[in-house]
Structure 1
């Protein structure tokens, strides 16, 4: 059935009229507004314009609110993701700076150790070689270390080894670039020592513990707790006066020594290139004849008094 044959065929003309009337009304209002703007009352124009602005402002505010909300939400989300990325970047930077700080602290500690090692002086003056401990051999009784200097640097078996605090041990084996150091705590270590306060001699004997025993002490009441223990130089293997530790009483009542070398890590050491006391003096002076200086003495002065019997002649 065609549209015109239906019940709405009579509505065709009224709809057209309605549309036409609406257009005419809009045109009439437009013409009226234009004419009133040119020749009308300014107050009425301002009132109409104000009403229109108020309506358009309200409608614009309502329509702009969702846009503002969406913009604020977008900014919040953007700021959140920026903060997350910035936080991640700062964490990475802090981790890098922490590694740099740790390296600086390690270098500062090493520099402090170097300064302490450079400040070591022994009497008499003995040539020394600086070394670094590269490994440690530890067992129930054995105590030794490997250091990174050897015969190529002039190190020999028997050379004393010290750190910035005191005696560490002696060299017992060498190669061209590596040496083995027997620590004073090893069971086979024997060091002749003296008590600084009384000059009493004794023997420092290692027994595998951290505090070697003080044996064969000479004299009565020559040792007290807290006395300093130094090398005595007896036997010519170690110079006299190298600090070792302080005297303490063991649990079993025996005399023991708390080592100065335990005050710090034994990682940087110095090897004393000491063989015997003969290297500390001038060989020509040492080997000079015992009475060689008498040949250079001045001749006795002649007598100036009267000769016996001269006055009677």
Structure 2
């Protein structure tokens, strides 16, 4: 039996390599001769991409697999860290719930001893923000929902964390909200820790300011401001802002919600408390 010729095999390999080299040289010459903006150049380039794309995809699979494995372990580590953080927050929330339950029980006992009337429960409706009319001079929002949902002027508007403004007009199916930052906004507030009362007034800037503070007012950094209910327009106890002091010791206010980019608000369906009749209204008519 005759053995295969090694020399013939080498000759065929050299011939194949030579043909491939000639094809490459011919291709480069063609690309050099033909102008770059010629449509044939784009067609040839696209044909090369079409022919080599399966090989490029196949060659990139190992690297993609390694990257996917790395992302998996990174994501797994992030999930574990997030789970630990959520467990810690859950423990803190359970402790907070226990404190609030005890405080509510004591409050009910104190109200019973003092024979105080209980505050009415707040009813709220959600409304979607359909327009943001903020400008250098006007800070308002337009929401979907008006008189058809019980929304009326004077009602409080809440964000995810606290008060953001009040309703100033309501139509059949839309309402307009005056934000706390508007120059025409003035909300009576009280510091929860020290019972210091003031007026939170808008300044047409990102943060409102406190006005009519007592001279000896003691407000600390981080004190929570809530609505005082003065005027009977907005219910008492709605969270509004935090007291802040800058490096110079100047008193500032930080709202609990970012008023930019609100998508939904909650409107408190409360009725304003009517003022009692004046002495002139109660006096008998002696003109007759």
Q: Same fold (TM over 0.5)?
A: yes
Q: Which residue of 2 aligns with 1:82?
A: 54
After TM superposition, the structure 1 = structure 2 runs for residues 88-167 of structure 1, keeping only pairs within 5 Å, are 124-167=120-163
**Alignment partners' CA distance in 2, 1:249 and 1:170:** 27
Shift of 1:269: 1.0
| Preserved CA contact (<8 Å) 1:185 1:211 | yes
Q: 1: distance between equivalents of 2:148 and 2:223?
A: 39
Q: Distance in 1 between matches of 2:247 and 2:171?
A: 40
Question: Is contact 1:213-1:254 (8 Å) kept?
Answer: no
Measured on the aligned residues, the alpha-carbon RMSD in Å equals 3.6
Find the aligned partners of 2:260 and 2:160 in 1 and give their Cα distance.
Answer: 9
Preserved CA contact (<8 Å) 1:128 1:271:
yes
Using the alignment, how far apart are the partners of 1:129 and 1:196 within structure 2?
Answer: 26
Find the counterpart in structure 2 of residue 270 from structure 1. Answer: 266
> Aligned partners of 1:205, 1:259: CA distance in 2, in Å?
12
Look up the match of 1:242: 238
Asked if structure 2 preserves the Cα contact closer than 8 Å seen for 1:169 and 1:181, the reply is yes
Structure 1: how far apart are the matches of 2:7 and 2:19? 19
Distance 1:247 1:81, change over 3 A: closer
CA apart distance, 1:218? 3.9
Any idea what the Cα deviations from partners look like across 1:42-81, whole Å, max 9, x if unmatched? xxxxxxxx6xx35x6356425643576589999xx89724
Residue 174 (str. 1) matches residue 146 (str. 2): no
Shift of residue 270 of structure 1? 0.4
Please list every run of 5 or more consecutive structure 2 residues that lacks an aligned counterpart in the other structure: 24-47, 61-118, 275-288
Contact 2:242-2:254 within 8 A present in 1 as well: yes
How many Å apart are 1:277 and its aligned residue?
5.3
How far apart are 1:163 and its partner, in Å? 0.9
5+ long unaligned stretches in structure 1: 1-49, 89-122, 279-313
1:267 is displaced (CA, Å) by: 2.1
**Cα 1:210/1:170, change in 2 over 3 Å:** same
User: For residue 9 of structure 2, what is the aligned residue in structure 1?
Assistant: 61
Q: 1:87 to 1:242 in 2, by over 3 A?
A: farther
Distance 1:140 1:264, change over 3 A: closer
CA distance in 1, matches of 2:209, 2:246: 9
Residue aligning to 1:119: none
The structure-2 alpha-carbon separation of the partners of 1:218 and 1:68, relative to structure 1 and needing over 3 Å to count, comes to same
Q: Which has the larger radius of gyration?
A: 1
Question: In structure 1, what is the Cα distance between the partners aligned to 2:178 and 2:263?
Answer: 14
Corresponding position of 1:221: 217
